[in-house]
Amino acid sequence: MDLNELIQHLFVPGTSLLEKIIRPILVYVCLVLLLRIGGRRELAQMNAFDLTVLLMLSNSVQNAIIGEDNSLLGGIIGGATLIGVNLAVNRYLYHHPNLDRAIEGDTVQLVKNGRVLRKNLERELITEAEVLAAVHRQGVLSINECESVILEVGGTISVIPRDPSASQQHAREILSRLERIERLVTTNARH
């Protein structure tokens, strides 16, 4: 391959500039709709199956974005279009919160006063084990120690522990006893 062919392959797109811009926009819109239909777990609380689907999804839409063009410039144009569209959509939705809520949905309470809301878990396809794992990640020992567990709009799970949780009360009692023992030892050491 000579220098002219190399430059041709790197910097001369195989399709028109307009097609390079339209393809990623259409794929972006379709993926946003598909992910919205698929639920929020694909956004943050992924298991191995969800991750596999997302990886395969990115591979399956690659050709839809770039078409028959494998040039460097074509890839840069497609990537820049995706980033630009995403920035524009986020900026627009920031100024239109009602539309954002309609697209993104609202928060969903998964646990209330230490009790699992099974219907909400079923609707969001989240298992009790996944909720417990999220509770543990946020430093709470059990679900019944939670005032509330919420599936946020972005797919993360927030845990609001009861005030104070049983484990926190137990830790405070232990610290209090240790302080009393320390005072007794200090007092006895002086006498």
Among candidate residues 155, 151, 150, 153, the one with its CA nearest the CA of residue 101: 153
Among candidate residues 153, 146, 155, the one with its CA nearest the CA of residue 116: 146
Q: pLDDT tens for residues 20-41?
A: 899 899 999 988 888 777 766 5
Tokens of 178: 């240790």
At 62, is the pLDDT very low, low, confident or very high (cuts 50, 70, 90)? confident
Residues contacting 141, CB < 8 A, separation 6+ = 135, 165, 166, 167
The percentage of residues in the chain with a pLDDT greater than 90, rounded to a whole number, is: 34
Element containing residue 24 per DSSP (H, E): helix 17-38
Specify the DSSP class assigned to residue 40: G
At 45, is the pLDDT very low, low, confident or very high (cuts 50, 70, 90)? low
Q: pLDDT tens for residues 124-164?
A: 889 999 999 999 999 899 999 999 999 988 788 999 998 76
Got the DSSP string for 124-180?
Answer: HT--HHHHHHHHHHTT-S-GGGEEEEEE-TTS-EEEEE-SS-HHHHHHHHHHHHHHH
Kindly report the CA angle at 7 between 6 and 11, in degrees rounded to 5?
125
pLDDT at 12 exceeding the cut of 80: no
Measure Cα distances from 178 to 9, 164, 182 in Å.
73, 20, 6
Tokens of 10: 């790197």
pLDDT at 118 exceeding the cut of 90: yes
pLDDT at 191 exceeding the cut of 70: no
Collapsing DSSP to helix, strand or coil, 2 comes out as: coil
Domain boundaries for CATH 3.30.240.20 within the chain: 106-191
Indicate whether this model's pTM tops 0.75. no
- Fold assignment, 106-191: CRO Repressor (3.30.240)
Q: Write down the pLDDT at residue 13.
A: 75
Mean confidence (pLDDT) of the chain:
84
Measure Cα distances from 20 to 28, 60, 79, 89, 122 in Å.
13, 17, 10, 19, 41
